[in-house]
């Protein structure tokens, strides 16, 4: 049974992050961390600190840098972390943030070995159940007009309107996330929150996690889901939708023409042993009542038809 909506959520809406979220950037002094951290700050996100061991006391355009996540949390009250560090450092950075009490971690790092992802995910589940990890290898999350953590360009996202209808987006593909955001903006459809969960084999946050939050979010009136070949995440989502999601949905599944046994872009995008095909995923979602687009543009056009009925 879905949890009841708290009064704080009613006031702030969106999912996972909002205008009150205080963010620190692990790797702020590096090239990627600086570039995207400052873009997030300039968007209006409360980027309150950076973390780079050995560089405490420095600042990046007014953002103070600390040696550890713990020190940054004590000084600033940050509750979210944006991790932009190399693959070898990412697992330790994630666990450091969790130990410091960070409740929401966004890791954009690509190339983290699957065994490391599995180990970190298991550690979080066992030792830090109140910490949510988004990624690795994801574009991040944006609640338009409120908070942007990651590498999504804020200017392509339409602001939600007070009475809606507003759409929530959850996607395994970063590039298709951007396309969906921009096409909805062209259609004058507001977005409550857009979540890129990433395409690695062991994502910290799943379709089901996001669908549950969107179902409970009063600012979200409809949902777009973008999946791809490989794994069973879309089939699991279809089962959850059947049993728990009452909001209308459209979806697109990438990889219809992908050959079996060949990895396509993402580490998790591979059809193996006859499982994980695009057709199987589309059939499962269609059976759950989701409208299926045969390309990303069609999925957004279908959403335009859905919101026109509100």
pLDDT of 92-137, one tens digit each? 999 999 999 999 999 999 999 999 999 999 999 999 999 999 999 9
Is the predicted pLDDT of residue 171 greater than 60, yes or no? Answer: yes
Q: Are 21 and 104 in contact (CB under 8 A)?
A: yes
Express as a percent the part of the chain with pLDDT over 90: 84
Q: Are 231 and 254 in contact (CB under 8 A)?
A: no
Q: Which pLDDT does position 257 carry in this prediction?
A: 58
pLDDT tens across 58-81, in order? 999 999 999 999 999 999 999 999
Is the predicted pLDDT of residue 39 greater than 70, yes or no? Answer: yes
Q: Which pLDDT does position 4 carry in this prediction?
A: 33
Is the predicted pLDDT of residue 5 greater than 70, yes or no? Answer: no
Radius of gyration of the chain (CA): 19
DSSP alpha helix (H) spans, 77-113: 90-99
pLDDT tens across 260-307, in order? 555 555 555 555 545 578 888 999 999 999 999 999 999 999 999 999
Q: Are 218 and 10 in contact (CB under 8 A)?
A: yes
User: Where in the sequence numbering do the catalytic residues fall?
Assistant: 266
Q: Are 8 and 112 in contact (CB under 8 A)?
A: no
Question: CATH for 15-134, among 2.30.30.40, 3.20.20.240, 3.40.630.30, 3.40.50.720?
Answer: 3.40.50.720
Is the predicted pLDDT of residue 244 greater than 70, yes or no? Answer: yes
List all residues 6 or more positions away from 295 whose beta carbon is below 8 Å from its beta carbon: 252
Average pLDDT of span 141-169: 97
Question: CATH for 153-308, among 3.40.50.261, 2.60.200.30, 3.40.710.10, 3.40.50.850?
Answer: 3.40.50.261
Strand 166-171 and strand 222-228: pairing? parallel
Confidence of residue 255 (pLDDT cuts 50, 70, 90): confident
Prediction pTM value: 0.92
Confidence of residue 9 (pLDDT cuts 50, 70, 90): very low
Confidence of residue 3 (pLDDT cuts 50, 70, 90): very low
Helix 69-76 crosses helix 90-99 at what angle (to 10 degrees)? 40
| Span(s) in the chain for CATH 3.40.50.720 | 15-134
| Span(s) in the chain for CATH 3.40.50.261 | 153-308
DSSP alpha helix (H) spans, 233-295: 233-244, 278-287
Q: Which pLDDT does position 118 carry in this prediction?
A: 96
Average pLDDT of span 10-20: 81
Express as a percent the part of the chain with pLDDT over 70: 90
Q: Are 218 and 2 in contact (CB under 8 A)?
A: no
Distance separating alpha carbons of residues 268 and 52, to the nearest angstrom? 30
* H/E segment holding residue 78: none
Confidence of residue 27 (pLDDT cuts 50, 70, 90): very high
Is the predicted pLDDT of residue 201 greater than 80, yes or no? Answer: yes
Q: Which pLDDT does position 31 carry in this prediction?
A: 97
Whether cis (ω within 30° of 0) applies to the bond prior to 136 is yes
Rounded to the nearest integer, the mean pLDDT of the chain is 91
Is the predicted pLDDT of residue 1 greater than 90, yes or no? Answer: no
């Amino acid at each position: 049974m879905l949890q009841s909506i708290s009064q704080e959520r009613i006031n702030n809406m969106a999912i996972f992050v909002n205008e009150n979220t205080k963010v620190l950037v692990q790797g702020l002094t590096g090239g990627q961390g600086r570039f995207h951290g400052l873009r997030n700050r300039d968007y209006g996100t409360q980027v309150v600190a950076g973390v780079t061991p050995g560089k405490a006391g420095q600042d990046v355009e007014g953002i103070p840098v600390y040696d550890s996540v713990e020190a940054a949390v004590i000084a600033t009250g940050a509750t979210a972390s944006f991790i932009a560090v190399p693959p070898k450092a990412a697992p330790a950075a994630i666990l450091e943030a969790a130990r410091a009490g960070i409740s929401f971690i966004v890791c954009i790092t690509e190339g983290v070995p699957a065994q490391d992802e599995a180990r970190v995910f298991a550690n979080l589940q066992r030792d830090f159940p109140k910490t949510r990890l988004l990624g690795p290898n994801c574009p991040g999350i944006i609640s338009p007009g409120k908070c942007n953590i990651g590498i999504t360009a804020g200017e392509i996202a339409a602001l939600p309107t007070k009475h809606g209808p507003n759409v929530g987006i959850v996607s395994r593909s970063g590039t298709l996330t951007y396309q969906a955001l921009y096409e909805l903006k062209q259609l004058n459809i507001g977005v409550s929150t857009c979540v890129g969960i990433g395409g690695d084999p062991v994502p910290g946050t799943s379709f089901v996690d996001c669908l549950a939050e969107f179902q409970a979010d009063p600012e979200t009136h409809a949902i777009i889901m973008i999946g791809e070949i490989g794994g069973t995440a879309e089939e699991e989502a279809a089962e959850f939708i059947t049993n728990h999601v009452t909001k209308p949905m459209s979806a697109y599944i990438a990889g219809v023409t992908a050959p079996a046994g060949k990895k396509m872009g993402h580490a998790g995008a591979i059809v193996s042993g006859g499982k994980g095909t695009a057709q199987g995923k589309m059939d499962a979602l269609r059976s759950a009542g989701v409208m299926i687009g045969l390309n990303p543009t069609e999925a957004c056009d279908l959403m335009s038809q859905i919101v026109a009925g509100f």
